């Protein structure tokens, strides 16, 4: 989840978006906001296309991809709320809630547009033999918000997940293998996890390298608008925050 101290950066990004459109090159950072990156043709990137979709268009695209969802009757703040009764592209996304509760807990509700991004993300995960993602939550309801109010963003809109563990197929001994963000990422607080200026994992264990590869491949393919890792701050020490953000022309990877 984006921390309050990031809000001034986000507001500055929105105010400068028109100026950013004229910047040459693939992506440029706005002066004064070095971590926010802009694309002149942002609307062509997956996260921007998904964020701009209507509910009907999103559901139609999920159907075309063969992704099964269950519509949710009420989830204040979420534009097109759905649950995931099955895998998404071969990967299960779920909280730790037992099966008999997962169709009731709000934390397993997603906005349809986030599910499209997860469908893309699953291609990366399957290449790493990951078939399950355990998360703290997707949707987190805003107290007092009623159905029909303003759409939420981030977790309040079902547009982000906090992914904490990545489950792989069994190893040669038949044991289930888990990549745990808190214990295996081994990032450095401050430097970005990907791209120029990135600090490599320390220690660079196989698990740390694989988690870094997963998150940086997703960043390179722009499936999400915002990716926050343990390198961002202590609040994210145990998960990846993966978010689709409507109405912006920047992306953030920290």
Range 143-169 average pLDDT: 89
Using an 8 Å Cβ cutoff, are 185 and 205 in contact?
no
Give the confidence band of 45 by pLDDT, cuts at 50, 70, 90: confident
State the pLDDT at residue 42. Answer: 72
- Residue 33, both tokens: 């906001």
Query: Which of the pair, 100 or 31, is modelled with greater confidence?
Result: 100
- Residues of the chain with pLDDT > 70, as a percent, come to 83
Assigned CATH class of 55-253: alpha beta
Cα–Cα distances in angstroms (integers) from residue 114 to residues 76, 83, 185, 213, 243, in the given order: 16, 11, 24, 21, 7
The 10s digit of each residue's pLDDT in 50-106 is 999 999 999 999 999 999 999 999 999 999 999 999 999 999 999 999 988 888 999
Q: What is the DSSP string of the chain?
A: ---GGGHHHHHHHHHTHHHHTT--SS-EEETTEEEEEE-TTGGGSHHHHHHT--HHHHHHHHHHHT---EE-S--TT-SSEEE-SS-BTTBEEE-SS-TTTTTT-GGG-EEHHHHHHHHHHHHHHHHTTEEEEEES-S--PPTT--TTSPPP-GGGGT-EEEEEEEEE---TTS--EEEEHHHH----SSS-SSSTTPPPPSS--HHHHHHHHHHHHHHHTT--SEEE-TTT-GGGTT-EEEE--TT-SEEEE-
Query: Which of the pair, 161 or 152, is modelled with greater confidence?
Result: 161
Phi, psi for 203 (deg, rounded to 5):
-75, 155
Radius of gyration of the chain (CA): 18
Ramachandran quadrant class, 190 (left: phi over 0; alpha: psi -120 to 50; beta: rest)? left
The 10s digit of each residue's pLDDT in 166-223 is 999 776 677 889 999 999 999 999 999 998 889 999 999 999 999 999 999 999 999 9
State the pLDDT at residue 228. Answer: 96
Q: Where are the domains of the chain?
A: 55-253
* Most confident range, picked from 6-10, 61-65, 139-143, 185-189: 61-65
The distance in angstroms from the start CA to the end CA of the chain is: 12
pTM: 0.83
Range 138-158 average pLDDT: 86
């Amino acid at each position: 989840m984006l921390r309050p101290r990031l809000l001034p950066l986000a507001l500055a990004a929105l105010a400068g978006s028109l100026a950013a459109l004229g910047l040459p090159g693939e992506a440029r950072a706005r002066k004064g906001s070095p971590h926010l990156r802009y694309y002149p043709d942002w609307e062509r990137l997956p996260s921007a296309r998904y964020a701009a979709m209507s509910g009907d268009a999103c559901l139609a695209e999920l159907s075309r991809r063969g992704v099964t969802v269950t519509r949710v009757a009420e989830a204040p703040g979420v534009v097109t709320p759905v649950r995931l009764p099955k895998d998404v592209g071969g990967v299960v996304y779920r909280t730790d809630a037992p099966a008999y509760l997962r169709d009731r807990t709000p934390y397993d509700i997603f906005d349809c547009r986030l599910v499209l991004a997860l469908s893309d993300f699953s291609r990366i995960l399957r290449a790493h033999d990951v078939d399950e993602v355990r998360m703290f939550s997707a949707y987190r309801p805003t107290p007092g918000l009623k159905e029909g109010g303003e759409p939420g963003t981030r977790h309040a809109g079902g547009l982000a997940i906090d992914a904490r563990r990545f489950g792989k197929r069994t190893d040669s001994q038949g044991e289930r293998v888990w990549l745990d963000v808190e214990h295996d990422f081994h990032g450095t607080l401050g430097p970005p996890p990907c791209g120029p200026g990135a600090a490599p994992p320390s220690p660079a264990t196989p698990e740390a390298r694989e988690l870094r590869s997963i998150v940086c491949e997703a960043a390179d393919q722009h499936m999400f608008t915002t990716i926050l890792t343990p390198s961002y701050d202590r609040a994210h020490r145990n998960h990846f925050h993966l978010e689709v953000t409507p109405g912006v022309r920047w992306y953030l990877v920290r």
